[in-house]
Structure 1
């Protein structure tokens, strides 16, 4: 008998101050990476899908971002100790 399946992992990459597109409030957004891996006998082997998300801490709305946008947001969070409120997606 072969036991296989998938398992999801959620990594928090950064906390960024953005203007929420849903509620319009300037608030912190969690930048997260969701990875689903194929498992064989409960051992994760390789990623099946990778998604990047931002989640507003005020209203809880999630927006999907691309890998390039995620890299840009991480660089912005790392270099700017005093963040400005920027709209998400710009």
Structure 2
């Protein structure tokens, strides 16, 4: 008996301040990456679907975007800007 299936992973890439297309409020939006992987015996082997989306934290509206749009939003989300936060950015090492 072979057991196979899929498993989804959700990564939060950044938090951006944007104007929502649905509610019109300038609010925080999370930039998310959803990866679906093929599993064999509950071991994830390879990804076969990757989707990007932004979600408004005010009205919870979610909008699917392309990879190019997600990359562009990530370049806009620099850690030095107020209201913009990018995850996975290298940090300065701690030196006492």
TM above 0.5: yes
**TM-score, length of structure 2 as denominator length:** 0.83
Per-residue CA deviation, residues 8-64 of structure 1 (Å, 9 max, x unaligned), is: 000000000000000000000000000000000000001110000100000000000
Please say if 1:43 is aligned against 2:43: yes
Q: Structure 1: which 4+ aligned runs deviate by more than 3 Å?
A: none
CA distance in 2, matches of 1:3, 1:17: 43
Helix, strand or coil for the counterpart of 2:24? coil
Query: Which protein has the bigger helix share?
Result: 1
Unaligned 5+ runs, structure 1: 85-90
For 2:76, the equivalent position in structure 1 comes to: 76
Equivalence for 2:5: 5
Alpha-carbon distance between aligned partners in 2 of 1:43 and 1:64, rounded to the nearest angstrom: 28
Query: Which has the larger Rg?
Result: 2
Gap runs ≥5 in structure 2: 85-96
Q: Deviation of residue 80 (structure 1)? A: 5.5
TM-score by length of 1: 0.88
Question: What residue is the counterpart of 1:87 in the other structure?
Answer: none
RMSD: 1.5
State how many pairs are aligned: 84
